[in-house]
Amino acid sequence: MEDTAQPTRTRHRPALIVLVVIASAACLALGWWQWDRFESASGTAQNLGYALQWPVFAVAIFWAYRRFVVMEADPEAVEAQRKRSGPSEIAAGILPERPTATDFGIAALNDDADEPGLTEYNRYLAELDRPHRPKDAP
Residues 6+ apart with CB under 8 A from 37: 43, 47, 51
Q: For residue 24, what pLDDT is reported? A: 97
Q: What percent of the chain has pLDDT over 70?
A: 78
- Confidence class for position 123, pLDDT limits 50, 70, 90: confident
User: 120 vs 107, which has greater pLDDT?
Assistant: 120
Smallest CA-to-CA distance from 30 within 61, 59, 51 is with: 51
Label residue 82 by pLDDT band (50, 70, 90). confident
For every residue of 109-122, DSSP letters joined together read HHHHTT-HHHHHHH
Distances 112 to 38, 101, 106, 107, 138 between C-alpha atoms, Å: 64, 20, 10, 9, 21
Q: What pLDDT shows up at residue 64?
A: 95
- Given pLDDT bands bounded at 50, 70 and 90, which one contains residue 31? very high
Please say whether the beta carbons of 113 and 119 come within 8 A.
yes
CB 27 within 8 A of CB 52: no
- Return the top range by mean pLDDT from 55-64, 78-87, 128-137: 55-64
CB atoms within 10 A of CB 68: 13
Position 25, amino acid: A
120 contacts: CB under 8 Å, gap ≥ 6: none
pLDDT band for 96, please (50, 70, 90 cuts): confident
